[in-house]
A = this chain, B = another copy of it.
Amino acid sequence: LNQKKFRQFEAIFHPKSVAVVGASSNRMKDGAIFFQNLLNAGFKGKVYPVNSAESEILGLKSYPKVSAIPGPVDYVLVAVPARLVLEVIEDCVAKGVKAVQIYTAGFREAGTQQGRWLEEEIVKRAQEGGFRLIGPNCLGLYNPSINLNLWGLPPAEAGSVAIISQSGGVAGRATLAASARGVQFSKVVSYGNGADLDSTDFLEYFAADPDTRIIGIYIEGVRDGQRLFQLLQQTGKTKPVVVWKGGKTEAGAEVAMAHTGSLAASNHVWEALSRQAGMTKVDNQDDLVGTLLAFYYLGEFRGRSAGILCGLTRGGGGESVSATDTCSSLGLTVPPFSPQTRRKLAAILPWPGTILRNALDVSIWKEAETVRRALDAIAADPGIDLIIICERIHMLLDRMPKEAVQAINQVFIQLRKQQPKPVVVISPPGFPTTSEQWQIEQELAAARIPVYSSLEEAAKAIARVSQYFAWRAGLNED
Contact = CB atoms under 8 A, between A and B. Distances in A.
Contacts of A431: 176-177, 180, 438
A246 B139 contact: no
A292 interface: no
Interface string A320-333: 11101111110001
A173 interface: yes
Contacts of A177: 431
Contacts of A110: 352
Given A359-B255, A429-B429, A454-B286, A249 B329 contact: yes
B169 A315 contact: yes
Contact of A255 (B105, B248, B254, B324): B324
B353 A285 contact: no
Given A315-B172, A432-B433, A325 B167 contact: no
A250 interface: yes
A165 interface: yes
Contact of A259 (B106, B335, B355): B355
A316 interface: yes
The residue among A30, A137, A251, A284 with the most chain B CB atoms within 10 A of its own CB is: A251
A325 B247 contact: yes
B453 A318 contact: no
Given A252-B322, A432-B438, A317 B357 contact: no
Contacts of A314: 168-169
Say how many copies of this protein the assembly contains.
Answer: 2
A260 B322 CA distance: 13
A303 to B, nearest CB: 16
A171 to B, nearest CB: 8
**Candidate in A82, A170, A313, A353 with the most chain B CB atoms within 10 angstroms:** A353
A328 B252 contact: yes
A435 to B, nearest CB: 6
A315 B170 contact: yes
A434 interface: yes
Given A30-B364, A110-B352, A357-B258, A321 B432 contact: no
Interface of A: 30, 81-82, 104-106, 110, 137, 139, 165-173, 176-177, 180, 218, 220, 246-252, 254-256, 258-260, 284-286, 311, 313-322, 324-329, 333-336, 352-353, 355-359, 361, 363-364, 392, 395, 429-435, 437-438, 441, 453-456
Given A168-B314, A284-B322, A432-B438, 5 more contacts: A167-B319, A251-B333, A254-B324, A255-B320, A259-B318
